[in-house]
């Protein structure tokens, strides 16, 4: 589903990502972990097309996407969330979801005046899809609530819903559990597992090791912008290289 090969990204001579390579298999949940400053979010930005890489290659479903803009990569089936949710605060929850589908007829002024039946039919379909997404996330009771009024955890769920409205095959989740209370954390974990059951592929950055250990099929560890090691959650938990990276010990 995703292949990263020898990727390098520098900022003013500092290598934030250094010859990074890894693969993500289809229909899996993979955790991308590492100490603060390891280059995880920079890697996400490169994969999603928000940053241009300096060297290396990125493939999405065997298609090279190095030079593609973010919108084009999104249309190939990739969606992402952000560590700080980016919902439109002055719009309702359902409106935030209905805004996502690409190429809506109502965005064209001509259609708004002369193809109103087409626009109305399309908006009805978008509403139904958005409501089904809220049912999946168990947020239907907040359908008409302004996004600004949601709790931190609810905003994370809405962010996930916005990603789902794009019908992605690969979903990048940037710290979905950050700042979330235990109850909503469990709900987020359940939803991620349900996404896999629906055939989706998930790559997530997360510092909550309980979440990583409980839901991931594989864990990839980064340190200082480099690939360090990968394995099952159990293997990573007891790997001495990983412990050294997190504790700041120097390898012999």
- The domain ranges of the chain are 2-87+156-247, 89-149
Alpha-carbon distance values, 36 to 165, 179, 207, 216 (Å): 31, 16, 9, 20
pLDDT, tens digit (0-9, with 9 covering 90-100), for 162-219: 999 989 999 999 999 888 888 888 988 999 999 999 999 999 999 888 999 999 999 9
pLDDT, tens digit (0-9, with 9 covering 90-100), for 66-120: 989 999 999 999 999 988 888 899 999 999 999 887 766 656 666 666 677 777 8
Q: How far is CA 89 from the centre of its chain?
A: 20
Q: What is the residue-wise DSSP string for the chain?
A: -EEEEEEEEEETTEEEEEEEEEEE-TT-EEEEE-STTSSHHHHHHHHTTSS--SEEEEEETTEE-TT--HHHHHHTTEEE--SS----TTSBHHHHHHT-SSS-GGGSHHHHHH-HHHHHHHHHHHHHHHHHHHHHHT-GGGTTSBGGGS-HHHHHHHHHHHHHTT--SEEEEE-TTTT--HHHHHHHHHHHHHHHHTT-EEEEE-S-HHHHHHH-SEEEEEETTEEEEEE-HHHHHT-HHHHHHHHTPPP-
Interaxial angle between packed helices 152-164 and 116-137, expressed in degrees from 0 to 180 and rounded to the nearest 10: 130
Predicted TM-score (pTM) of the model is: 0.86
pLDDT, tens digit (0-9, with 9 covering 90-100), for 124-139: 899 999 999 999 999 9
- CATH architecture of the domain 2-87+156-247 equals 3-Layer(aba) Sandwich (3.40)
> What residues form DSSP beta bridges with 10?
15
């Amino acid at each position: 589903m995703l292949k990263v090969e020898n990727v390098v990204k520098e900022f003013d001579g500092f290598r934030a990502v250094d010859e990074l390579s890894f693969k993500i298999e289809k229909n899996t949940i993979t955790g991308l972990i590492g100490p603060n400053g390891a280059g995880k979010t920079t890697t996400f930005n490169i994969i999603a097309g928000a940053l241009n890489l300096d060297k290396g290659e990125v493939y999405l479903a065997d298609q090279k996407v190095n030079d593609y803009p973010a919108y084009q990569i999104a249309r190939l089936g990739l969606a992402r969330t952000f560590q700080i949710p980016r919902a439109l605060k002055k719009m309702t929850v359902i409106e935030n979801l209905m805004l996502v589908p690409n190429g809506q007829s109502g965005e064209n002024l001509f259609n708004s005046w002369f193809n109103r039946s087409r626009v109305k039919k399309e908006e009805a379909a978008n509403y139904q899809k958005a409501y089904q997404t809220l049912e999946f996330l168990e947020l239907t009771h907040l359908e008409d609530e302004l996004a600004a009024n949601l709790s931190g955890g609810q905003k994370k769920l809405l962010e996930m819903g916005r990603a789902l409205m794009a019908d992605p095959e690969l979903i990048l989740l940037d710290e979905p559990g950050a700042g979330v209370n235990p109850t909503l954390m469990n709900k987020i974990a359940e939803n991620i597992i349900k996404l896999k059951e629906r055939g989706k592929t998930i790559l997530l950055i997360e510092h909550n090791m309980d979440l990583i250990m409980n839901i991931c099929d594989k864990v990839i560890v980064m340190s200082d912008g480099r690939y360090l090691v990968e394995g099952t959650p159990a293997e990573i938990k007891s790997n001495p290289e990983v412990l050294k990276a997190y504790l700041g010990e120097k390898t012999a």
